[in-house]
C-alpha cells in the first residue's frame, strides 16, 4: 500500500518553485506519486513517476525522505495511504509525456504552494520541505548546471 512520490522543484537565486500536476480523476493539484514496481528501488520509481505524470527528469535528493499519510477518495470511501516523498530537482521538462492527455502541470513559488496544493495532505509535506530548505538548496546547487560566462573575443 505504501507509495513513493516527489516534490518537483527548481531554484533560481533565492526563489524556489514547486511543480504540481492535476489528479487524473478530479483535476486537483497534487504532487506526483505512485507504487513501486517489482524490483524497483525508490529512486527509480520517483524518476519514472516524475516522467509519467509530469514529463520531468531530474535529480532525486535521497537524503531528504518525508513520509506522510495522504487520503484518496475511492468508490468505497476515503483510503489513507503512507507516501514517502523525495525532493526532485527538475533539470528537464518535456513537451510530451505519457500522461499528458490526462494531466496538467503548474509551477508555483514555494510561498504560494499551500494555496495551490489540494487539501491539507500536502501542506505538511510542503512545510517539511520548506523547513529543510537550507540543506535542500545546498545539495541542489551541487547538481544544478551553472550558467556559463559569456565568452568575449580576444582583443
pLDDT tens string 112-131? 999 998 777 788 999 999 99
d(CA 111, CA 90): 18
- How do residues 31-68 score in pLDDT, each as one tens digit? 999 999 999 999 999 999 999 999 999 999 999 999 99
**DSSP type of residue 95:** S
pLDDT in tens, 76-110: 888 899 999 999 999 999 999 999 999 999 999 99
Question: What is the distance between the alpha carbons of residues 126 and 92, in angstroms, rounded to a whole number?
Answer: 22
Full set of structural domains in the chain with CATH = 3-143 (3.90.79.10)
Amino acid at each position: 500500500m505504501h507509495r513513493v512520490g516527489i516534490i518537483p522543484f527548481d531554484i533560481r537565486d533565492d526563489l524556489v518553485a514547486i511543480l504540481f500536476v492535476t489528479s487524473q480523476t478530479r483535476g486537483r493539484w497534487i504532487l506526483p506519486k505512485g507504487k513501486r514496481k517489482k524490483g524497483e528501488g525508490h529512486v527509480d520509481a520517483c524518476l519514472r513517476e516524475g516522467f509519467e505524470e509530469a514529463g520531468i527528469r531530474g535529480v532525486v535528493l535521497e537524503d531528504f525522505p518525508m513520509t506522510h499519510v495522504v487520503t484518496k477518495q475511492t468508490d468505497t470511501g476515503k483510503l489513507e495511504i503512507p507516501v514517502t516523498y523525495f525532493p526532485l530537482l527538475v533539470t528537464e521538462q518535456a513537451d510530451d509525456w505519457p500522461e499528458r492527455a490526462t494531466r496538467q502541470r503548474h509551477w508555483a513559488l514555494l510561498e504560494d504552494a499551500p494555496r495551490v496544493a489540494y487539501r491539507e495532505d500536502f501542506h505538511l509535506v510542503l512545510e517539511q520541505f520548506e523547513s529543510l530548505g537550507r540543506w535542500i538548496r545546498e545539495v541542489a546547487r551541487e547538481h544544478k548546471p551553472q550558467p556559463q560566462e559569456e565568452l568575449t573575443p580576444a582583443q
